[in-house]
Amino acid sequence: MLMDQIAEHRDRLAKVEQRLRNYFGTPTWHLELEAVDELVCTILSQNTNDINRDKAFTALKERYPSWEAVRDADPAELQYVIRIAGLANQKGPNIQAALNDITRERGEIDLDWLKEKSPEEARRWLVNLRGVGPKTAAIVMVFALGMPAFPVDTHVYRVTGRIGLRPKEMDVTKTHAYMEQIAAPESYGSLHLNLIDLGREICHARKPKCAICPVCDLCQFEDKNFS
């Protein structure tokens, strides 16, 4: 039964992926960043929009000359610098904790050495950093380290459940691994971004715009909205 379900989801995903590529195009990532930069940028991105994330990241880089300076900064000052990203009292400590963990483990603040590890080893190492979960680790892997990983954020989790690309009862953590099982590794990054665009622009949490959705006929969502 499980294998039949995987095959069904894989087949539907292939159709969804093509439709989304036709509709949104082939997306590109916001910036090509070094792995530590991507890690910090992703922490800043949590629960905010891309504009405020980028403003906070730019302010951080302008204020501090190095990641060592960020690590050792006065916590209150750091939180003030990144305040535009929101939740600064959480993000500031998480950034400093992750940088301290990297320093403690490696003696310097660098993550490029993970490129020599297997994806499983890299993921395991990243999620052991304080403040880093499966989504953040996957983003660093696929967009900064060139490793196969499928990030699942709120939008991706919502639309994959509605469309019928995963078991309905599957939690967000297990969805990371499931999407990696049914999607082609070379499309992880672009598919992730197009699913986010679908969630942001059309498949809204409260009132999805099903009438203009490019995958409406493939979608398993029972409460479609055509108003």
> Which member of 115, 135, 174, 209 is catalytic?
135
For the question of residue 135 being annotated catalytic, the response is yes
For residues 148-160, give the mean pLDDT: 97
Distances (CA, A) of 142 to 32, 33, 82, 148, 150: 11, 12, 25, 6, 7
Question: DSSP per residue over the chain, as a string?
Answer: -HHHHHHHHHHHHHHHHHHHHHHH-S---S----HHHHHHHHHHHTTS-HHHHHHHHHHHHHH-SSHHHHHTS-HHHHHHHTGGGS-HHHHHHHHHHHHHHHHHHHSSS--GGGGGS-HHHHHHHHHTSTT--HHHHHHHHHHHS--------HHHHHHHHHHTSS-TT--HHHHHHHHHHHS-GGGHHHHHHHHHHHHHHTS-SSS--GGG-TTGGG---SS----
For residues 12-38, give the mean pLDDT: 92
For residues 92-97, give the mean pLDDT: 98
For residues 16-25, give the mean pLDDT: 97
Q: Judge whether residue 82 has pLDDT over 70.
A: yes
Q: Judge whether residue 31 has pLDDT over 80.
A: no
- 166 — pLDDT class (breaks 50, 70, 90): very high
Cut 0.85: pTM above it: yes
For position 29, what pLDDT does the model report? 75
- 227 — pLDDT class (breaks 50, 70, 90): confident
Q: Which domains does the chain have, with CATH numbers?
A: 2-28+151-218 (1.10.1670.10), 35-144 (1.10.340.30)
